[in-house]
Amino acid sequence: MNDGNELPLAGIRVVEFTHMVMGPSCGMVLADLGAEVIKVEPLAGDATRRLQGSGAGFFPMFNRNKKSLAIDVRQPRGLELVLKLVATADVFCENFKPGGMAALGLGYARLAALNPQLVYVSHKGFLPGPYEHRTALDEVVQMMGGLAYMTGPVGQPLRAGSSVNDIMGGMFGAIGALAALAQRATTGRGQEVQSALFENNVLLVAQHMMQFAVTGRPAAPMPSRIPAWGVYDIFEVAGGEQIFLAVVSDGQWASLCNAFGFADLKDDPRLATNNLRVAARDWMMPLLRERMAVHRAAEIGARFEANGLPWAPITRPHDLFDDPHLLATGGLAPVTLPDGRDTRTPLLPITLDGRRPPLRSNPPAIGEHTEALLQSLGLDATQILALRSDGVIAPAQTEQPPGDTS
């Protein structure tokens, strides 16, 4: 693991009050880029640690490279210590319901008065307006924001298969934090940054909104859309396998026909251009499907790759642990889960000076860094012991219950 001193955000301190995915995603991005991110948790730890089923991966994915301070901020001494910590911070990050931080004594106005250079990042369901009082989840905004409509078949809205708004909302929170830090270098002042699930979702479907603005016709859900390209489909091939194949230019069409010996299709004037092929899909696609069905997916993929044509296997998420490209390029880093098991985890999808931002520390145990952080604030061993005895802070190495291994 790497100490991160050469990373771009080395020296930036982030205090994080977050749970689930959106806020932790923001902190993860900042942490991966080198910031010291201190996750403030209740004495029992972030409840996200105990999620099972589809939530079992949330905590280990989005809380690496962070420190854990387990403290009861509802006690005056706990709040006082957190305020001392915030006074040393560059960024404060939260994703609780509107008014939640202010009720704890950690709202923007108070923290900005305490630390005028602080960048305060709030992640919410909605930006300020008529909807801001609503409780939002990723699935809620996918339904009301048009994404579920676009993903499922007509009449069957379907959420996307990942926490797309939570993760992307956290990314926009991080982008806002970086912008505010850059502006602070000029003004000397911090500011409040807000990111929201609903507005994030609107950006995801904005291309379909603009499609309507340009064409005057509503965008069709993806399963029944009129594609922009003649071939852009999943094919059922020999052995019951599936493969995605695409032909997005006239040159690629010629390459496809040459690679598979489709001279008749290459010379057919009805298929000479992409727009003609789109118009001919009703009869062209059944013919292509019939011809491709005699080949195995691996053979088709090899021919497509040899000819520079777009293709993809249909892969399940857990298959990616063995992806040869990720393994060869260091895209998966070794990590130890909170329950002690070892696995690998995807890194940020960027390189800096040719290198991926590294995994510097595993997801922390509950309160793992409490004692060291309090010592950095000037507390001695006797004071720390008293806080622990009075239930203000948690033990430093609380055992983590096993996750869902089903």
Q: Catalytic amino acids?
A: 166
Contacts of residue 133, defined as CB under 8 A and 6 or more positions apart, other chains included, come to 98
Token pair of 40 as six digits: 């403030």
Residue 179 CA to residue 187 CA, distance in Å, equals 12
**Nearest 5°: phi and psi at 235?**
-115, 140
Residue 104 CA to residue 83 CA, distance in Å, equals 11
Distances (CA, A) of 100 to 106, 141, 196, 268: 9, 21, 16, 66
Token pair of 218 as six digits: 């509503």
Closest to 23 measured CA to CA, from 111, 72, 96: 96
Angle at 59 between CA 55 and CA 61, to 5 degrees: 100
Residue 216 CA to residue 123 CA, distance in Å, equals 34
